[in-house]
Amino acid sequence: MPELELLDLEVIDEPAAARAALDPVRSRILSMLASPGSATTLAASLPLTRQQVNYHLRVLEEHGLVRLVEERQRRGLVERVMVATARSYALSPVALGDSGADPDRMDRLSTRYLVAVAARMLREVGDLARRADRAGQSLPTLTIDTEIRFATSADRAAFTAELAETVQRLAGRYHDETAPRGRRHRLVVAAHPSPAAHHSTPDHHPTSPTTEEPT
């Protein structure tokens, strides 16, 4: 069997592909195909016949969500072994067309604005990552993800003011409108209360930034 290279995450932006992936049966098939499988092997774990699984596989393949790994003879038939294109998937707001989240239509002071900005990031980075993959290049990104436990709302407000001042100072220092080979980067700084179910210990320490650098 040839060596497999699965993306950790693929962003779906085609409405038809989104509909295919959201179907409960096909969603389960996608998760099962994180490892290669055929209609026969999948049917053994699903309440479906091999023919029914084949139908769903054809739909997923048509929309680029699974791909052929190999074909092999099995009891006089050609068995097609498939694998998912990624281990997990996310839906871009592009898949929703004009009703997709758009920060330009939101109140900048609202909670929904943060959600719309996150959706825009998913759309933009998903598209940029796909283009970089096709070109065989890496995409320079930066991610800082941590939790902070504020003692009081006053501390939270003071932190917000200091963070905003620091970001403004750094942006002013490094922004260069005239650099001939300069490239614009979008910087998003956001915070929100952690869901109660995710609270662990009372002490949280900042984590190191995660970066990808260009080749």
Q: How far apart are CA 40 and CA 53, in angstroms?
A: 8
- What's the pLDDT at 82? 96
For the chain, the domains span 10-89, 97-139, 140-176+183-215
- What's the pLDDT at 141? 95
Q: What is the mean pLDDT of the chain?
A: 90
pLDDT tens for each residue of 53-100: 999 999 999 999 999 999 988 777 889 999 999 999 999 999 999 999
Tell me the CA distances in angstroms from 59 to 6, 17, 56, 62, one per residue in order.
19, 9, 5, 5
What is 10-89's CATH topology? Arc Repressor Mutant, subunit A (1.10.10)
- What's the pLDDT at 214? 46
Query: Can you name the residues that pair with 161 across neighbouring β-strands?
Result: none
- What's the pLDDT at 78? 86
Amino acid letter, 130: R
Burial zone of 66 (CB within 10 Å; 0-12 exposed, 13-18 middle, 19+ buried)? buried
